[in-house]
Amino acid sequence: MSKIYKLAIIGCGGIANGKHLPSLKKLDNVEIVAFCDIIEQRAIEAAGLYGTEDARVYKDYTELLTDSSIEIVHVCTPNDSHADIAIAALEAGKHVMSEKPMAKTAYDAQRMLDAARRTGKKLTVGYNNRFRPDSQHLKKICEAGELGDIYYAKAHAIRRRAVPTWGVFLDEEKQGGGPLIDIGTHALDLTLWMLDNYKPKVVLGTSYHKLSQRENAANAWGPWDPAKFTVEDSAFGMIVMENGATIVLESSWALNTLEVDEAKCTLSGTEGGADMKDGLRINGEQHSRLYMTKVDLNAGGVAFYDGKTESDADLEMRMWLKAIDEDTDPVVKPEQAFVVSQILEAIYESSKTGKAVYL
């Protein structure tokens, strides 16, 4: 029988209950033994649903980290606390998964990376869109070199009207930004991963507060309070990599557009291209003719079976535990997540100064 790991959750809000806990509960090599939240009732409720019979509840994460039996910690708190909690957990001898983005600032992300290297403990970041079937298949295509040299890409994170109005999403002090750091981070991570290119050279960015101050605005989660909307409603960036490749990143929670795509990418290489706009599509040229192929990610003709046996969240958690168990690198390496934070911060800085940022 394989080892059973004892795991703790710090932050028992939406992302913990919506992704981490349901997927972790399905694994037979992990027990969720401790729950921490500044709102104690949330920790109590999560423990009742997902914890062991003797699961412990905390309001202070520093107390939780003194428990030497806990081997893994998941950090599911607002962005501004990711670094301090993750570093403390790593130094307490725990492996850590932090929710995305890695941290509120690139400086804090670097601190986390340094702590992981110093302690020898594993650190990963919750970029779950890498684990979708279309993402996994496109990654194999890229690794096989079927697109050739990918020199132009777009990272898509566009919502027409879907501003999260709960929690601290609209609080710049807690989150560090709006759609760029919230959903743009997923699209950028996905795109960099496909290119396997983590050497940015220069970044130019813009961000806007154009629709955020409207009263009673149409929104998927109800109207927002303009007085509390302190983050951008949309942001855009152009990133030039050291090898000359160009990435365009687009993100919005509120934008007057019908071109809506989230956590997707478009790739253009010397031998072919790919996009995720209508399923996974591959394009190119064969025998002096242009072609486009839509990849069938389903089983193909099997009744009552769509070919998807494991959700992206389930696969993410299983692969994370597998990396710990086999002492291998996690799928999302902290060095990769750090570069994402670097670029996001550079877009914000460029927007404020009106100047390109050289990395």
Q: Which pLDDT value is given to residue 1?
A: 44
Whether residue 27 is found in the same domain as residue 160: no
Q: Which pLDDT value is given to residue 306?
A: 54
Whether residue 140 is found in the same domain as residue 94: no
Quickly tell me which residue has 């996994």 as its tokens: 136
Q: Is 80 exceeded by the pLDDT of residue 195? A: yes
- In the structure, what pLDDT confidence band is assigned to residue 92 with cuts at 50, 70 and 90? very high
Mean pLDDT of 14-30: 97
Contact 251, 259 (CB under 8 A): no
Whether residue 328 is found in the same domain as residue 253: no
The answer, yes or no, to whether the previous bond of 101 is cis (omega within 30 of 0) is yes
Give the domain CATH number at 106. 3.40.50.720
Compute the Cα dihedral for 84, 85, 87, 92 and give only its sign.
Answer: positive
Helix residue ranges, H only, 166-265: 172-175, 179, 185-195
Q: What is the pLDDT of residues 264-282, one digit of tens each?
A: 999 999 999 999 999 999 9
Mean pLDDT of 4-9: 98
Tokens of 134: 């279309």
Whether residue 53 is found in the same domain as residue 195: no
Q: Which long-range contacts (CB under 8 A, 24 or more apart) does 53-60 make?
A: 58/34, 60/36
Q: Is 50 exceeded by the pLDDT of residue 221? A: yes
- Spatial distance between the Cα atoms of 220 and 4, rounded to a whole number of angstroms: 41
Averaged confidence pLDDT in the chain: 96
Whether residue 102 is found in the same domain as residue 158: no
Mean pLDDT of 98-118: 98
Whether residue 79 is found in the same domain as residue 196: no
Mean pLDDT of 1-6: 84
Contact 12, 43 (CB under 8 A): yes
Whether residue 202 is found in the same domain as residue 116: no
Q: Is 60 exceeded by the pLDDT of residue 303? A: no
Whether residue 168 is found in the same domain as residue 307: yes
Question: How many independent structural domains does the chain possess?
Answer: 2
- In the structure, what pLDDT confidence band is assigned to residue 302 with cuts at 50, 70 and 90? low
Whether residue 158 is found in the same domain as residue 90: no
- Spatial distance between the Cα atoms of 8 and 35, rounded to a whole number of angstroms: 6
Whether residue 145 is found in the same domain as residue 233: yes
Pairing of strands 56-58, 30-36: parallel
Q: What is the pLDDT of residues 57-78, one digit of tens each?
A: 999 999 999 999 999 999 999 9
Whether residue 141 is found in the same domain as residue 205: yes
Whether residue 96 is found in the same domain as residue 138: no
- Identity of the highest mean pLDDT range in 212-216, 295-299, 335-339: 335-339
Q: Which pLDDT value is given to residue 310?
A: 85
Give the domain CATH number at 290. 3.30.360.10
Q: How is residue 65 annotated by DSSP?
A: T
Q: Which domain holds residue 37?
A: 5-128+314-332
- In the structure, what pLDDT confidence band is assigned to residue 301 with cuts at 50, 70 and 90? low
Q: Which pLDDT value is given to residue 218?
A: 96
Q: What is the pLDDT of residues 234-260, one digit of tens each?
A: 999 999 999 999 999 999 999 999 999
Q: Which pLDDT value is given to residue 2?
A: 73
